[in-house]
Amino acid sequence: MTDKELALKSVEYRRKILKYIVEAKAGHTGGSLSCVDILNVLYNHVMNVSPENFKSPLRDRYIQSKGHTVEALYVVLADQGFFPESDLLTLCKYGSHYIGHPTKKVNGIEQNTGSLGHGLSLSVGTALAAKLDGLDYRVFTMLGDGELPEGSNWEGALLASHYQLDNLCAIVDKNGLQISGPTADVCNTDPLDRKFEAFGWEVRHVDGHDLGALKEAFAALPFATGKPSLIIAHTVKGRGVSYMENQLKWHHGVPNADQYAHALEELEAATAALQAALR
């Protein structure tokens, strides 16, 4: 996929995230918009996983620890062909499989998550299995910065380095905001790099909306042989829609008709700008 196609996908994914959240009248808007560029690069550029190989023991795995931003994941999975995108019109509606957190009832989802602090241990177990069996698949997990005070993360982090899981890559979607306020005010986890380094991880910082920088970071995996890798992705909550960016109320805010129209205009302008710039 060309850089242009990849960049256009990011805008398209944002448009779809909003579409289905508006349709459902529910969703974690801000966080979905902060993490979607990372998912774009993972699924379109990095991971060896597709509807065709999803049952293969050799596929790469993605486990979303910050389960509440499942809208971004659903949109990306639909684009990959795991299920018809029109299914997402049922998101969060009575009887739908498409609930507001990742569920294995949906093709392409590896693990049910939603309660925070669970993804890393699951990923450690999955990565450890590859080491035990001599398989070379990789495991990716995305954590929210707000969920890092959960102690289970640190139990998982310890064990990942104990077993030298260099086939494991965790990405922190560091958008700096959680439901009650700035993450630094709620329970500060900085300096995150030094904490994970002290736990035996190799850490890199990246602009989580810079697709080229993300590609570069993922291409460098593992950052050190015998160590798990952490990507601290600096992101903006609500990224791509000006009035949502860095605004707490869009944690799970749903745009009204006017706001939605405004957001679509901005995203259309972004598409046009990309096409002009990359022509």
> Rounded to the nearest whole angstrom, what is the least distance from the CB of residue 68 to other proteins in the complex?
14
Q: How far apart are CA 5 and CA 25, in angstroms?
A: 30
Contact region with other proteins (CB under 8 A), list: 10-18, 26-34, 115-123, 254-262: 115-123
The torsion region of residue 114 among left (phi > 0), alpha (psi -120 to 50) and beta comes to left
Q: Of 114 and 253, which CB lies nearer to other proteins in the complex structure?
A: 114
Q: Of 140 and 250, which CB lies nearer to other proteins in the complex structure?
A: 140
Q: Of 147 and 266, which CB lies nearer to other proteins in the complex structure?
A: 147
> Rounded to the nearest whole angstrom, what is the least distance from the CB of residue 181 to other proteins in the complex?
25
Q: What is the DSSP string of 225-242?
A: TTS-EEEEEE--TTTTST
> Rounded to the nearest whole angstrom, what is the least distance from the CB of residue 76 to other proteins in the complex?
20
- Any contact of residue 104 with other proteins (CB under 8 A)? yes
- Binding-site residue total for other proteins (CB under 8 A)? 29
Distance of CA 174 to the CA centre of its chain: 11
Amino acid, single-letter form, for residue 139: V
> Rounded to the nearest whole angstrom, what is the least distance from the CB of residue 267 to other proteins in the complex?
34
Q: Of 165 and 241, which CB lies nearer to other proteins in the complex structure?
A: 165
Pick the closest to residue 121 from 146, 154, 161 (CA basis): 154
Element (H, E) at 62: strand 61-64
Q: Of 58 and 261, which CB lies nearer to other proteins in the complex structure?
A: 58
In the region spanning residues 124 to 153, those forming contacts with other proteins, defined by CB under 8 A, are 124-130, 132-133, 151-152
> Rounded to the nearest whole angstrom, what is the least distance from the CB of residue 126 to other proteins in the complex?
4
Contact region with other proteins (CB under 8 A), list: 122-130, 172-180, 203-211, 219-227: 122-130
Rule CB under 8 A: which residues touch other proteins?
57, 104, 110-115, 118, 120-130, 132-133, 151-152, 155-156, 158-159, 162
